[in-house]
Amino acid sequence: MTAARTVTATFSQTAASSYTLSVAVTGTGSVTSSPAGINCGSSCSASYASGTSVTLSAAAGSGYTFSGWSGSGVSCAGTGSCTVAMSVNRIVPAAFTPTSTTATTIRLIPVTTSPGTNELVSLAIPFPPDTLTDASRLRILDENGNEVPAYVAPKVYWYFKPNTAAIRSVLVQFRRSFSSSAEQRVTFDYSAPRLQNLAAPNYAEGLMIGKSSTEIPRILPVLTAEWLTSSLVAGPQITKGQNNAYPDYETWFETYYAQAKNYDYSADYTVWLFDRATAIYKQYIRTGNPDYLREAYNSTTFYRSRINTSGSCIGSFNLGGKNCDAKYNYTEPFALHYMLTGDDRFVQTIRDVADGWNNGFDPDYTVGNGFWTERHAGFGWLAAIHAYEALGTQSYRDRMNYYANTLFAHVTTPPDGQGADGCWRHDAYDHDASEFDSNYAGCSPWMTTMILDAMWQYWFITSDTRVGPAARNFASFMENYGWAASDRSHYFSSSKVPASQYANSQDADTDLHNMEMIFIYSMAYGFDTNSANRLAYTSRITTARSIFTYGAISTKRAFNWAFRGTSSFVHLMRQ
C-alpha cells in the first residue's frame, strides 16, 4: 500500500441448478407434463433441472374445452401442447371454458308475490375469453328445448385480450308466463344461430321496488356458479364446491352474512365502507346462491342511488352526513352489476366514480404531503381498473397504468430514500396523525391488502411481471416486522424504528383483519414456486385461520373488509 487505492469487487449471480414450474388451472380440466412432474388436478408444481424443456398438455373435463395458455415468458399460441424452457421459475395459467354445445341453466325465481303472464326477464350473461364473438348465436331454450324469442345485445368486450372482438357480457331479455310463484328454468346455448327475436323491451318493465325503496327484478335470473367462475366475470375464482382445502372460509361467510344481510343500511354510512355490494356479489359468483344475488342487486342499486350526480363531489357517496370522502367510492360493484345485468344506467355511474378519483387522490407520495394511505391507493387503482374493464376506455387504462407505475416505483424506491423493505412506506403522520403518538416511516399491513387486491386484478389484465416480486416482498416484510403476536398483525409496522415504537393500542384488535392477512400470504403463495416458502406461507395462513371460528362481528364494516377482495385466496392456494 504505497497510495490510497479503490478496489471494486464484482459478484455475478450463478445460474440455479433447478427451477419450479407451476400450472394454474381455471375451469374444469387437467394438465400433464413431459418430463413427468405436473399432473394438475392434483400436482400443479414440479421442479426441473435448469435448461430442461417441459411440454405441457391439456385435457378438458366433461362439458369444457381448452381455450389456451398464458403467462409471462410463455409464447404458446392456440390450444395444442406448450413447451417452456426452464431458465427461470414459471407460472403458466391454463384456461378451460364451457363448450358451446352445453346448454347452461338459468333459474327464474319470482321475487314479486304475484307473477303473471309475459313477465320480462333481463340479465347479462358473462362469457370467457374467445368463447362468443357473434351474439346472433346466443339462444334461450325452454324446458322442452324450444327456442324462446329473445332480445340480445353485447355490452362488454374482452378489451384487454388478444381477441378484442370476443364478447365478455351480453344482455339477454325474454318473456315468461308464471301461473304461480314456483321457480322455472330455461337454458342458454350458442351452438346455432338464433331464429326467434324479440324487439328491444324497456328494461324498467321487469323491475320492482325492493329493500330500502330501490329496484330489484320481478323475476330473479340466477346463473350457475360453474358458469360464473369459468366466465372470469370477477377474475380468477373457484366455486364453493371446488374449495376442499378451506371449507371453513365458506362457513364463516355464511355465518357472518346471516347478520350482515339484515343491516339497515338506509341511513348508516358505516355499513358501506370497504364495499359491501362487491363482497356479496363475489360470493354469488362462487355459489350461484339466489339469496346472495338478490341482496347484492339490492345493495348495488341502493349504493348507486347515493352517488352524487351533481355538485362539487360528482361520483362521491353521500349518506347520513358522509360526503366527498373518497374511501367510500367504488367502481367494482357497478362494473360487476353491469356485466351481470346489462343495465345501461350504470355506465354513467362507473364514469362518475372513476372520474371522481381522477380529480382527487394522487398515489404519487412525497414525504410530508399531509395525506397518503394504502387504502386510498388501492381503491383509487381499483376504480381505474374496473372502469377500464367495463367500458374499455383508453383514459381509464392509462390511469390504471399510472397507478401501477407509481406504486411499483414507490415500493422499490421508497420516496423517503431509506431503501426498499417490501412495504409502501410513508410517514405515520401523513397516514393519520390522530392515531399515533410519534411520527415514523412505516405501513399498514391490513390496508396494504387493498393495494395487493388491486395488484392481483391488474395482473389479471396485464400479466405484469412486477406483481409477483412485490407480493413476495411484502410477505417477507410481514414476517420480519408485521406481526404483533402469532394471531394478529401490527396496526402500522416499520423496519426503520424499534418494535416498541410502532406497537400501537390498536394492535389488540387487528385479529379482526386476519382475513386480509390470509389474502396477503395467498398472493405470495400464488406467485412463489419455492416449496419451502410456500410451506411458510401456508403455516401463517393456518394460524390466521383462527378468524374463521369467530361468529359475526359487531363492527358492521368488518363484513366488507373480510370478504370484498379475499375470495380469490382459495383460488390462489390451489395453484
pLDDT tens for each residue of 86-128:
888 888 888 887 765 568 999 999 999 999 999 999 999 999 9
- Over 522-535, what HEC string results? HHHHHCCCCHHHHH
Q: 260, 322, 255: which is closest to 557 by C-alpha?
A: 260
pLDDT band at residue 365, thresholds of 50, 70 and 90? very high
Q: Cell numbers for 455, please give them.
A: 395488484
Give yes or no for residue 220 having a pLDDT over 90: yes
| Residue 234 predicted with pLDDT over 50 | yes
Residue 73 has pLDDT above 70, yes or no: no
Q: What is the tens place of the pLDDT at every residue in 171-204?
A: 999 999 999 999 999 999 999 999 999 999 999 9
Q: Distance (Å, rounded) from C-alpha 219 to C-alpha 331?
A: 26
Query: pLDDT band at residue 518, thresholds of 50, 70 and 90?
Result: very high
Instruction: State residue 88's pLDDT score.
Output: 85
Residue 11 confidence (pLDDT): 43
Tell me the residue type at 489.
Answer: S
Residue 115 sits at the vertex; the CA angle it makes with 114 and 116, to the nearest 5 degrees, is: 115
d(CA 279, CA 292): 10
* Contact criterion met (CB below 8 Å) for 157 and 175: no
State the pLDDT at residue 235.
97
Specify the pairing of strand 64-69 against strand 426-427. unpaired
Q: In angstroms, how far is CA 360 from the centroid of its own chain?
A: 23
> What pLDDT is stored for residue 291 in this prediction?
98
What pLDDT does 227 receive?
97
Partners of residue 358 on adjacent β-strands: none
Cβ atoms of residues 26 and 70 within 8 Å: no
- pLDDT digit string, tens, across residues 408-420: 999 999 999 999 9
Q: How far is CA 137 from the centre of its chain?
A: 29
What is the mean pLDDT of the segment spanning 502-521?
Answer: 91
- Alpha-carbon distances of 361 from 56, 160, 311, 326, rounded to whole Å: 45, 25, 18, 8
The pLDDT, as a whole number, for residue 568 is 95
- Give the per-residue pLDDT at 538: 97
Q: Is 487 exposed, middle or buried (0-12, 13-18, 19+ CB in 10 A)?
A: middle
Dihedral pair phi/psi, residue 135, rounded to 5°:
-65, -15
Would you say 67 and 129 are in contact if contact means Cβ atoms under 8 Å apart?
yes
What pLDDT shows up at residue 346? 98
Kindly give the interhelix angle for 514-526 and 531-544, rounded to the nearest 10 degrees: 170
Cα–Cα distance list, 352 to 189, 312, 316, 402, 475 (Å): 35, 12, 8, 19, 35
Is beta strand 104-110 parallel, antiparallel or unpaired with respect to 147-148? unpaired
Residue type, 321: G
What's the CA angle centered on 120, arms 129 and 207, to 5 degrees? 95
Q: How many CA atoms lie within 13 A of 334 on its CB side?
A: 31
pLDDT digits (tens, 9 = 90+) for 426-480: 999 999 999 998 999 999 999 999 999 999 999 999 999 999 999 999 999 999 9
What are 232's three cell numbers? 372470469
Share of the chain above pLDDT 90, in %: 79
Whether residue 334 has pLDDT greater than 50: yes
Q: Check whether 545 has a pLDDT greater than 80.
A: yes
pLDDT given for residue 78 in this prediction = 78
- pLDDT tens digit sequence for 379-424: 999 999 999 999 999 999 999 999 999 999 999 999 999 999 999 9
**Mean pLDDT over the full length of the chain:** 93
* pLDDT tens digits for range 14-51: 567 888 888 888 778 889 999 998 888 767 878 899 98
Q: What is the residue whose three cell numbers read 388478444?
A: 162
The pLDDT, as a whole number, for residue 388 is 98
Q: Can you spell out the DSSP letters for 477-497? A: HIIIIIEEETTEE-SSB-SSS
Residues 6+ apart with CB under 8 A from 210: 111, 216, 294, 297, 298, 301
* Residue 190 to residue 134: CA distance in whole angstroms: 9
What single DSSP character describes residue 465?
A: T
- Mention every residue, 6+ apart, whose C-beta is less than 8 A from residue 175: 118, 119, 120, 121, 148, 149, 198
Largest CA distance in the chain: 104
Residue 5 has pLDDT above 70, yes or no: no
CA distance 442 to 495: 7
The predicted structure's pLDDT at residue 67: 81
Lowest mean pLDDT among 101-105, 265-269, 271-275, 359-363: 101-105
Alpha-carbon distance 217 to 203, whole Å?
Answer: 10
**Edge-to-edge strand ranges of the sheet holding 18-26:** 45-49, 18-26, 90-98, 64-69
